[in-house]
Chain A
């Protein structure tokens, strides 16, 4: 028998985060005259699009009960590769972009192979990869920021008019990506396999899912998504920045966790991750508009994460 609709909404893992997001918006709307404006919401989406996109890849990996500590570093390397190839090596921008995406996907592939072929824990693989990729970024970039980018690499940072509000193409792409992955995870056989893998790899294997290949695919796809995040980052800042992404691995995990996805795999929704990323963005923006120093933003984000995981644990205990 199917539960009534309100009941079902509450039992989805996104309901809690969504309620938190709406309440936060109401709170900041009451406290700051500038908060409830089109341009400000457009700004918040711009500010979360890079971490949000990274967090799509992170969600995929966490759903398989893995974790990716290298995502921010891979993104930074991808950004340097596409900008340096286009500016310093004079490659056609489209090729440079493709190379950047390919490099990111390749690192995802290597992560996936190490996790499946040598059975290393994802935490260790990606911790090692974090250092490898970080170093490669600094070696390859020679610690130099790349400027004067071709239009193709900054296009996503341009805006179009939506009513009275300027919206960046990157924001639009980010939302489309979330919808695409919501579809892939929610309505395809591949998506069901990812959940099955995260719930129990052994059961998944016995039901005929090729779990190794699936895992490698997930890590590679996540890498490709980091490449798109790299393009978003480059177009947002207008430069190739070797220092970028240093805390984005943890920020992306924050978005996933705040979005109600379980760190133990198999449970969660990618749209929850979008909500999680928006919660962080709304708090940062709203607190800044109220004149609260950024150290309090860090404090509050930390508390939110602990509480979100506590909620996940408590609701699991109740389910048993």
Chain B
């Protein structure tokens, strides 16, 4: 009796598997391209997958995708690389969760003749992948730093930085870029509070609440991304400070861009995950066709989005931002 029920389990599961797969490809000769993101659920990566899907269709490639369960899930990304190589992909596009820990697995894939391109986040060292298609995160930070400097118009700044997490380069680069753009060194007394948010709205709110306890008179908030910015806004609003504190951010997601439009966030640096994925898939198609490997770093661009432009800093308005946002 016992043995029959598990068979039932299997049938159910297999039916589900059938629903999930789009076309069996075991016998087809369509070249395959793999996309491995940090998570399945982050809108940034959802958009990236969408871009990859479109480009794969256009280029006559079959897209395989995989992701970790959480940001930092290195083991799942290694497993995905191995399975994709076993499935015979021509190239893998990866947004590394752990920039150092993924390197040995990438090396194995490249040794097996697979083109590996990093999207959004460089590996350490950067040349562990064949090529990198990403936002210049330092520049993204620099742009909002310059904007904040001009928007403060000489008023003495008391800055809170809501950062990502220790040891993650993207967050470090944006933070450093912001300080450079604003023109203060790390450790400057005008930085009154620095906390990690992991880019999460609820943690951003908590961080801002704590910063306001520590420095009630802060007047400029740098945030790693818009969820953190919106968390900060909620905390500021609860204190009635939302009008006189300037919030700047990075990412350019659609929710974030709408928050710029409604004035909750003053300005944000928009990046383009769709473009990263499209370029990546195109490069793999090129490699499948004539063996030409992409190499080096391709900047996929960053644009300052604000409806309250300041002199001397180039920016586009939220109409442009909403037309090009992701998520």
Contacts and interface: CB of A to CB of B under 8 A. Distances in A.
Contacts of B10: 20, 23-24, 27
Contacts of B167: 142-145
Interface stretch (B72-80, B136-144, B262-270): B72-80
Contacts of A303: 9, 12-13, 16
B87 A145 contact: no
A289 B64 CA distance: 9
Given A246-B73, A300-B13, A303-B13, A295 B78 contact: no
B24 A290 contact: yes
Nearest to A238: B104
A287 B17 contact: yes
Interface string A1-37: 0000000001101011101100110010001111000
Interface string B7-44: 11110111011001111111100001000000010000
B2 A241 contact: no
Give the interface SS of chain B, mostly helix, strand, loop or mixed: mixed
Given A244-B75, A246-B70, A237 B82 contact: no
Contacts of A32: 24, 26, 87
Contacts of B220: none
Interface in B115-174: 165-167
B75 A237 contact: yes
A311 B20 contact: no
B79 A284 contact: yes
Contact of A19 (B3, B79, B166): B3
A6 to B, nearest CB: 10
A53 to B, nearest CB: 13
Interface string A263-289: 000000000000000000001110111
A241 B13 contact: no
B105 interface: yes
A291 B21 contact: yes
Given A33-B26, A47-B79, A292-B21, A143 B166 contact: yes
Give the interface SS of chain A, mostly helix, strand, loop or mixed: helix
A318 B1 contact: yes
A298 to B, nearest CB: 7
A15 B101 contact: no
A287 B166 CA distance: 35
Contacts of A285: 83, 86
Interface string B178-212: 00000000000000000000000000000000000
B100 A288 contact: no
A146 to B, nearest CB: 9
Nearest to A143: B167
Nearest to A32: B26
A314 B26 CA distance: 38
Nearest to B63: A291
Interface in A32-87: 32-34, 39-40, 43, 46-47, 50
A308 B20 contact: no
Given A40-B86, A243-B72, A304-B13, A293 B78 contact: no
B86 A39 contact: yes
B98 interface: yes
Interface string B249-283: 00000000000000000000000000000000000
B315 interface: no
B101 A34 contact: no
B88 interface: yes
A250 B278 CA distance: 36
Contacts of A145: 98, 100-101, 167
Contacts of A290: 17, 21, 24-26
B86 to A, nearest CB: 5
Nearest to B14: A27
A308 B74 contact: no
Nearest to A247: B69
A315 interface: yes
Contacts of A300: 13, 16-17
Contacts of B3: 10, 15-16, 19
A299 interface: yes
A291 B27 CA distance: 13
Interface in B43-97: 62-67, 69-70, 72-76, 78-80, 82-84, 86-88, 97
B6 interface: yes
Most buried by B among A50, A291, A303: A291
Contacts of A11: 2
B5 interface: yes
A40 B84 CA distance: 11
A285 B85 CA distance: 11
A292 B17 contact: yes
A200 interface: no
B20 A304 contact: no
A176 B86 CA distance: 26
Contacts of A294: 40, 65-67, 76, 80
Contacts of A304: 9, 13
Contacts of B84: 288
A209 interface: no
Nearest to B69: A247
A90 to B, nearest CB: 20
B1 A315 contact: yes
Interface of B: 1-3, 5-10, 12-14, 16-17, 20-27, 32, 40, 62-67, 69-70, 72-76, 78-80, 82-84, 86-88, 97-98, 100-101, 103-105, 165-167
24 contacts: A11-B2, A19-B3, A23-B7, A27-B10, A34-B86, A47-B82, A143-B165, A237-B74, A237-B101, A239-B103, A243-B74, A243-B97, A244-B74, A247-B70, A283-B17, A287-B20, A291-B21, A291-B25, A291-B62, A291-B64, A292-B17, A300-B17, A303-B13, A307-B12
Q: Please give me the 4 A-B residue pairs with the lowest Cβ-Cβ distance, nearest first.
A: A238-B104, A243-B72, A16-B6, A296-B20
